[in-house]
């Protein structure tokens, strides 16, 4: 338990070191929110109000509704970042829930992994004991983090830090602050989408079913089979069901003497 507490403290230390990056990611995530259509729930029914979130802010109206939202985000200043987090999107989901999933969760996981890397490098003895307590081998640090259950507490702290910095700031100012990084993230997404998918690993001809059958077909012939017995090799392969078009790829994987494969192919061509 001591080691878990120690790792928790280390995670909080790394999180505070990365606070500027967290605030930057939060601002970048907010870019474009003001252009989204505004929705609210009335008597339990989700409906659009006919304008954008930015339109509501320009009129000084609150963005969040009375029927949705988190208590900890209540009493928000109209048009503030907190106000928008407590509003719903077109699907009825709180923007705060999306922020948790799209920003806080991946950022906190990455922070915990960095803390684990630091622990492994600076406290190897304590790290080894911790892995033993958790029943992990340490090869997958994200798995170690989840086994240690450090994310939940750190996610709560990360949320508090973001709200302390941005909650009461006007959304339009938060968006403006996040615009440069949001452009970088958009370019990264385009690059990922444009990259060709990885090619599947090349199939090993020696592991194919045709080679397996061919080896079984010539198993009774003493290898390496000389060219003089090429006719026996060809007959055995065809009898086993090997297609003529498969022979050029199959023959190099059989126990044949030099020249036998060419002789088999010559007989095949002569018989066509």
Question: What per-residue confidence (pLDDT) applies to 267?
Answer: 82
Q: Show which of 173, 194, 215 is a domain's final residue.
A: 194
What residues make up the domain containing 249? 205-271
Question: What per-residue confidence (pLDDT) applies to 271?
Answer: 65
**167 in the same domain as 263:** no
In terms of Cα–Cα distance, which of 145, 164, 176 is closest to 16? 164
The answer as to whether 87 is a domain residue is yes
- Residue 73 CA to residue 26 CA, distance in Å, equals 16
% of residues, the chain, pLDDT over 90: 53
**189 in the same domain as 228:** no
**243 in the same domain as 146:** no
The answer as to whether 200 is a domain residue is no
The better pLDDT of the pair 13, 47 is held by: 13
SS3 (DSSP) at 48: strand
- Into how many domains does the chain fold? 2
The answer as to whether 199 is a domain residue is no
- Residue 8 CA to residue 182 CA, distance in Å, equals 30
In terms of Cα–Cα distance, which of 200, 207, 201 is closest to 249? 207
Question: What is the helix (H) or strand (E) element at residue 76, kind and residue range?
Answer: none
Q: Show which of 194, 227, 256 is a domain's final residue.
A: 194
pLDDT tens digits along 194-212? 877 766 554 455 446 778 8
Q: Show which of 161, 194, 227 is a domain's final residue.
A: 194
CB atoms within 10 A of CB 135: 7
pLDDT tens digits along 142-188? 999 999 999 999 999 999 999 999 999 999 999 999 999 998 988 88
The better pLDDT of the pair 201, 248 is held by: 248
């Amino acid at each position: 338990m001591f080691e878990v507490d120690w790792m928790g403290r280390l995670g909080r230390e790394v999180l505070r070191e990365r606070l500027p990056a967290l605030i930057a990611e939060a601002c970048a995530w907010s870019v474009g929110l003001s252009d989204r259509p505004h929705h609210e729930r009335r008597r339990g029914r989700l409906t659009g109000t006919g304008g954008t979130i930015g339109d509501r802010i320009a009129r000084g109206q609150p963005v969040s509704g009375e029927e949705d939202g988190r208590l900890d985000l209540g009493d928000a200043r109209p048009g503030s970042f907190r106000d928008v987090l407590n509003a719903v999107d077109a699907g009825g989901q709180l923007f705060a829930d999306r922020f948790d999933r799209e920003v806080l969760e991946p950022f906190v996981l990455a922070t915990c992994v960095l803390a684990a890397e630091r622990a492994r490098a600076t406290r190897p003895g304590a790290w080894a004991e911790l892995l033993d307590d958790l029943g992990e081998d340490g090869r997958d640090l994200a798995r170690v983090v989840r086994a240690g259950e450090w994310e939940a507490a750190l996610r709560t702290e990360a949320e508090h830090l973001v709200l302390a910095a941005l909650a009461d700031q006007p959304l339009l100012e938060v968006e403006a602050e996040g615009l440069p990084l949001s452009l970088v993230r958009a370019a990264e997404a385009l690059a990922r989408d444009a990259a060709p998918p990885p090619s599947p690993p090349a199939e090993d001809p020696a592991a194919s079913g045709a080679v397996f059958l061919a080896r079984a077909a010539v198993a009774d012939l003493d290898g390496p089979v000389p060219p003089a017995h090429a006719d026996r090799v060809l007959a055995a392969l065809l009898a086993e069901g090997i297609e003529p078009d498969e022979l050029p790829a199959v023959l190099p994987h059989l126990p044949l003497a030099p020249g036998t494969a060419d002789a088999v192919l010559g007989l095949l061509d002569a018989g066509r």
